[in-house]
Amino acid sequence: MIETPLFCGRCGVELQPGSGDFFVVRIEAFADPSPPDLSLEESSTDARRRLKELVAQLNYTSEQELMDQVYRRLTIHMCNPCYRIWIENPAGA
């Protein structure tokens, strides 16, 4: 197995596997998984037209782009100091 060097995703410091000096952070993000609210009033004609537009749009989008739009999974590594700062405000800039 080839050892690829690991770097902190925030500060870029090199991390040493086995030294316990970093965290692995897995991020899974997906678009609103709830089914569309059908109680929202929309005539079936409108719905059909929107569906047609959507399908036309999809034909121009690659499968990968489509996946990226609804689902992303990332794994990042962070050194301890960066992790401690990040975990307090993971959604912050």
Asked if 10 is part of the footprint of Zn ion (rule: CB under 5 A), the reply reads: yes
For tokens 């912050």, the residue is 92
Neighbours of 8 (CB within 10 A): 20
Site string for Zn ion, 34-73 (x = CB under 5 A): ----------------------------------------
**Coil, helix or strand at residue 76:** strand
Q: Are 27 and 86 in contact (CB under 8 A)?
A: no
Q: Is 82 in the site for Zn ion (CB under 5 A)?
A: yes
The reply to whether 11 sits near Zn ion by the rule CB under 5 A is yes
- List residues near Zn ion by CB under 5 A: 8, 10-11, 79, 82
